[in-house]
Amino acid sequence: MIKLLVHGDSDGVCSGALLKAYLGRKGDVAVYFTNPAGLAKDLEEFTRQGDDIYIADIALDEKTYKQVLEILERRGSEGKVVYIDHHPLPEDFRQPGNVEFIHDTCCSASELVFKYVEKHLDPDYSRIGLYGAIADYIDETPWVRDQLARWDRRFVYYEAGVLVQGLEHTGRQYDFKREILNALSSNTLPSSISDLASRAVKQSMLDEDLRLSVKRTVYNKGVVSIVKNPPGSVGRAANYARIYGGGLIGLAFETRGRMLVMSLRSDKVDLNKLIRRISRELDIQGGGHPFAAGARVGIEVFDKFVEKINSSYREYLRA
């Protein structure tokens, strides 16, 4: 059985679509959406010895990555395991055995996946990779520039926008996300996928409400501009928090029981290194990219978490 585990954002969905377009020729492909904090659990639950396993756009979490690698090495002893990702790795990462590990922070996961499968696909599938790169704000690489020259730029950006906004409105409706991924694996235009364009329009209106809400409610603790439980994407809210709060770091979180699930944004602080360091000092999970990171923080340690950011950020200022 072929198992495909990807992130549920646009870059992850595009990566998954490209892999499914390739793997679908080999047999049935089961698609699962996962995340760094849940990857180890999902691997144990949804994969078995003898499966061929492909993973894309999932960062290795500081707290659980050794468990993830142990599972993958075990699965790789009896089946094919491929891991494709573009997030920075943990500092003491070691190359796992029995795993084809493709990693580069140069570009989006979609770009890496397209390069992995391109010899097996029609060149027109490059636009799927472009959608993912645009969605992840990594659209200035040499590959993106070269591929955009094959298309009308406005057409590609329009389709990417429909995909990004439509997926954002979809949230955790994973069955519909699978429909989107399956359609993209046939190189179907996002704007022609049933209900996706209408969801994108609705999301744009919600995003405007989100922007205005953040503008009203953002507050500062040191260099951190914070928004609690925004009415929409915590990633977008964190970016607006940085803009309207004026802090070096924007932070937005939603409360899930006793856990705060958050995004952080900064154009001056290496958030991945900062959050990974704090995750080794406090009982939290987190990491991501230099300019955009995520974390899961218990309510009881949130104030300490913000204090750690304020006391440590200077070490991670970017030139």
Domains and CATH numbers, the chain: 2-152 (3.90.1640.30), 218-316 (3.10.310.30)
Q: Give pTM, 2 decimals.
A: 0.91
Calculate the CA dihedral of residues 290, 293, 299, 302 and round it to 10 degrees: 20
| Spatial distance between the Cα atoms of 11 and 111, rounded to a whole number of angstroms | 9
Query: Cβ(248)–Cβ(313) under 8 Å?
Result: yes
Query: Cβ(25)–Cβ(75) under 8 Å?
Result: no
Side chain identity at residue 65, one-letter code? Y
| Spatial distance between the Cα atoms of 7 and 235, rounded to a whole number of angstroms | 15
| Spatial distance between the Cα atoms of 312 and 108, rounded to a whole number of angstroms | 28
> Counting beta carbons within 10 angstroms of the beta carbon of residue 291, is it exposed (0 to 12), middle (13 to 18) or buried (19 or more)?
middle
Please report, for residues 58, 72, 115, 296, the alpha-carbon distance to residue 102 in angstroms, rounded to integers and kept in the order given. 12, 14, 11, 26
Q: What is the pLDDT of residue 10?
A: 98
Q: 202-229 burial, b if ≥16 CB within 10 A, otherwise e?
A: ebeebbeebbebbeebbeeeebbbbbee
The tokens 């070691």 sit on which residue? 94
Taking alpha carbons only, the member of 99, 10, 93 closest to residue 53 is: 99
The tokens 């190189």 sit on which residue? 187
Please report, for residues 2, 5, 72, 264, the alpha-carbon distance to residue 51 in angstroms, rounded to integers and kept in the order given. 6, 12, 11, 36
Q: What is the pLDDT of residue 319?
A: 66
Side chain identity at residue 237, one-letter code? A
**What residues have CB less than 8 Å from 256, skipping those under 6 apart?**
none
By residue count, the chain amounts to: 319
Question: Long-range CB contacts (< 8 A, 24+ apart) of 114-121?
Answer: 114/18, 115/143, 116/82, 116/84, 117/18, 117/19, 117/21, 117/22, 120/22, 120/25, 121/18, 121/21, 121/22
- Rounded to 5°, the CA angle 129-133-138 comes to 150
> Counting beta carbons within 10 angstroms of the beta carbon of residue 265, is it exposed (0 to 12), middle (13 to 18) or buried (19 or more)?
buried
> pLDDT means per 10 residues in the chain (319 residues)?
97 98 95 96 98 97 93 97 96 92 98 98 98 97 98 98 97 96 98 97 97 98 98 96 98 97 97 94 91 95 98 91
Q: What is the pLDDT of residue 122?
A: 98
| Spatial distance between the Cα atoms of 286 and 202, rounded to a whole number of angstroms | 30
Q: What is the pLDDT of residue 91?
A: 85
Q: What is the pLDDT of residue 62?
A: 86
| Spatial distance between the Cα atoms of 114 and 16, rounded to a whole number of angstroms | 10
